[in-house]
Structure 1
């Protein structure tokens, strides 16, 4: 499984309205005022016939985890491996606070960014299984008059980012490219409350990227619209439905969908952005603009449990889980399904999603058989080529047992 940095939308006239914290081979890049370019594993060799799931080596994993911090690319890293329903290994490295030097607390929570999309997609697909939503329903049926050309855009296209709807984080008001724009976000933008209709109007005021179903264009607006559809169908907010359908049944005590709250409840490591004068602490931020597209908070413990339950068939019926895994080619070296992405590796097929928000990046992935799950949270800071290399080694070790195991064999 090879982790690469990819952009999240491509159009000829796309603005460069983003403050990139990553260097050219970095793992993480900030998009808009928060969402992260995906840490997207690309295809590698198929697993050898009869290969057993790799054993977990705590010492080697600990060393790989520390290397990410020691290379200077992250202030903190948290990771967990779950095997056959039990925590096989959990580790932390770095500091929770650059000022005090306090260590990262065990069980720390963090902002999960676009991994929130998998939670939201799961709720939508549960409603599909209940025949309350159809994947081929037009958006116009559920949100009449809200989206231009809504009669031609389907729920499925919102889920897999083929709707063509403009990404609201490309709007100039979310621009953090350059010191002046970043300062504006730090002092004003990150405290601003946005309602779902606010960001939809920001998006629909701009022309679409293309006709529905003719290409792949990552747009956080798609999932904001899905949240509104869930509310229209159930009479409850998307966050209430995630709480009712996923968080409570699975006992995810560290997971929350914070709305307008600026804090991370419970133990956590601070997140930072790099500036010429030193780090700016962005732990406190209002994620309301992102909603079901990226506002969530969780922990490695909860995310491995969620991934195991999802891939193990506890949250969706086989038909809906199969639909979730139906991938489209993004044209960027990876595929994307209905809030779930395929991560081929040398030790088997893995499924999950990646994402982030200012100061935090997350990878969630699990084996197709539901037996092994891996979660990595990184607090990116001063990223470099070495960051990408050490991060890749950690992911390979966690998924396949060694840094070399995930690479295709020569010959």
Structure 2
């Protein structure tokens, strides 16, 4: 069965942006005004790097009271990216570079930039650049306006609103970037392992950029730092959060209606752990992840 990975998809998109930089088609310090039209409450001087590491100050549309994310499976409106940027982005948290605040709006802007450069949908780019070459045969981007393909089995989700069978249910309000990546825990672990252990996806220069963590990255979620599409927990925070000391980790977490995801690479142990569940309560995900983390650290030490 496949699981919705939510915001873990930000890491795939960040990787694509860095690959475009490596190809000379984009620069991390480009202002977004070079690539995009003007939108209310979005400063054209924001850089691509500031979008990637959430230092842009752009308001997180997910938190807007009219956002579809505030209406669990209630919204039937098809939310286009430009509509979101015009209607659901309130005043910025701070001027560009003036702080840190997690914002999914950043990744809508990044998606628009990538699609303008590539002249194709982001799902096609991920498929041709990553899913097929890396043999990630259980990783797909699904059209949110249609039903899942007949050969795809999606884990039914359990959200705070109750049970929802997603397989036949269009999700016209979905605006994640990229749209609806579904995968297995094995494929997700392999993706991160290819990226950071085998180093098959990005050259060293851009892996270094991705793992240059902006700190502090406070509050929600609690992090030691945030790189380019990458969350960082130092050894102190790992011990505080999971009760296991002496371990650094980086990766990403995701949370959407009825699904939670977490994938972390442990650089000191050269190991990747990925957990996907079809439940949006923290306890289930944390219990499984902590159990695996204890097993891995105990065995490798």
TM-score, with normalisation over the residues of structure 2? 0.84
Unaligned runs of 5+ in 1: 1-107, 406-411
- Distance in 2 of aligned mates of 1:122 and 1:176: 25
The structural deviation recorded for 1:293 is: 5.5
Alpha-carbon distance change, 239 to 391 in structure 1, aligned in 2, over 3 angstroms: closer
Aligned partner of 2:54 among 151, 161, 172: 161
In structure 2, the residue matched to 1:394 is 288
In structure 1, the residue matched to 2:186 is 301
The structural deviation recorded for 1:324 is: 0.6
The structural deviation recorded for 1:315 is: 0.6
SS in 1 for 2:140: coil
Task: Tell me, yes or no, if the aligned pair for 1:221 and 1:293 is still in contact at 8 Å.
Answer: no
- Distance in 2 of aligned mates of 1:401 and 1:224: 37
Task: Tell me, yes or no, if the aligned pair for 1:137 and 1:154 is still in contact at 8 Å.
Answer: yes
Aligned partner of 1:326 among 212, 233, 244: 212
User: Which protein has the larger Cα radius of gyration, Structure 1 or Structure 2?
Assistant: 1
- Distance in 2 of aligned mates of 1:292 and 1:370: 30
Aligned partner of 1:271 among 149, 153, 157: 157
Task: Tell me, yes or no, if the aligned pair for 1:259 and 1:287 is still in contact at 8 Å.
Answer: no
- Distance in 1 of aligned mates of 2:27 and 2:269: 27
Task: Tell me, yes or no, if the aligned pair for 2:160 and 2:258 is still in contact at 8 Å.
Answer: no
Task: Tell me, yes or no, if the aligned pair for 2:275 and 2:285 is still in contact at 8 Å.
Answer: no
In structure 2, the residue matched to 1:9 is none
Aligned partner of 1:315 among 176, 190, 201: 201
Alpha-carbon distance change, 280 to 394 in structure 1, aligned in 2, over 3 angstroms: closer
Alpha-carbon distance change, 214 to 393 in structure 1, aligned in 2, over 3 angstroms: same
Query: Which protein, 1 or 2, shows the higher relative CO under an 8 Å CA cutoff with sep ≥ 6?
Result: 1
Q: CA RMSD in A?
A: 2.6
1:222 and 2:138 equivalent? no
Give a deviation string over 1:101-125, Cα, whole Å, max 9, x none. Answer: xxxxxxx101110001000000000
Task: Tell me, yes or no, if the aligned pair for 2:247 and 2:266 is still in contact at 8 Å.
Answer: yes
The structural deviation recorded for 1:252 is: 1.3
Aligned length: 281
Which is strand-richer, 1 or 2?
1
In structure 2, the residue matched to 1:234 is 118
Task: Tell me, yes or no, if the aligned pair for 1:270 and 1:281 is still in contact at 8 Å.
Answer: yes
1:378 and 2:277 equivalent? yes
- Distance in 1 of aligned mates of 2:28 and 2:139: 27
TM-score, with normalisation over the residues of structure 1? 0.62
Task: Tell me, yes or no, if the aligned pair for 1:364 and 1:376 is still in contact at 8 Å.
Answer: yes
SS in 1 for 2:234: strand
1:337 and 2:223 equivalent? no
Give a deviation string over 1:107-165, Cα, whole Å, max 9, x none. Answer: x1011100010000000000111121111110001114346554320001111111111
In structure 1, the residue matched to 2:239 is none
- Distance in 2 of aligned mates of 1:147 and 1:310: 36
In structure 1, the residue matched to 2:250 is 351
The structural deviation recorded for 1:201 is: 1.5
- Distance in 2 of aligned mates of 1:341 and 1:288: 26
Alpha-carbon distance change, 252 to 404 in structure 1, aligned in 2, over 3 angstroms: closer
Task: Tell me, yes or no, if the aligned pair for 1:397 and 1:403 is still in contact at 8 Å.
Answer: no
Unaligned runs of 5+ in 2: 236-244
